[in-house]
Amino acid sequence: MISADHPFFLAHEQAHIMLKHELKRKMLFTVIISASLAFAKILNFSVFFILLSPILSLWLSSPLWLWWMRKQELSADRLATQLTSKTSAKHSLNMLKNRNFSLFSTHPTKNQRLFAIFYKF
């Protein structure tokens, strides 16, 4: 288990913000909901099916969703590796470590990441 002040962990969480993963996740969710509502409306389903359609779409697209989430984690790992290999990035990550900076042991939320990046250093 990597401790919360390990440079790679810090770089990984910073990479999620740099790659705007939260925004991309919301956009994918919006596309799935919009497509399912349009599909239900085109086929003249009743109101019950229009309300049920997004849930069915999410259930059917869950493998796509899991693949998307794994892809985001791998891209954050890739960027974190690049960040920790640069000497300037290593210096800024060490500054975080020297100021008693620690991220959370569980996977942080977007607000916790933003707080960690913008308000702690």
Mean pLDDT of 1-10: 61
Looking at residue 35, its pLDDT comes to 74
Enclosing H/E stretch for 94: helix 87-98
Distance (Å) of CA 25 to CA 28, 66, 67, 81, 109? 5, 11, 12, 22, 13
Q: Are 14 and 89 in contact (CB under 8 A)?
A: no
Q: Is 12 exposed, middle or buried (0-12, 13-18, 19+ CB in 10 A)?
A: buried
pTM for this model (two decimals): 0.48
List alpha helices for 2-120, DSSP H: 7-18, 21-42, 47-60, 62-85, 87-98, 110-118
Instruction: Specify the residue for token string 């409306």.
Output: 41
Q: Which two tokens stand for residue 30?
A: 């919006």
Write the pLDDT tens digit of every residue in 58-81. 666 677 777 777 888 888 888 888
Write the pLDDT tens digit of every residue in 7-32. 777 777 777 777 777 777 777 777 77
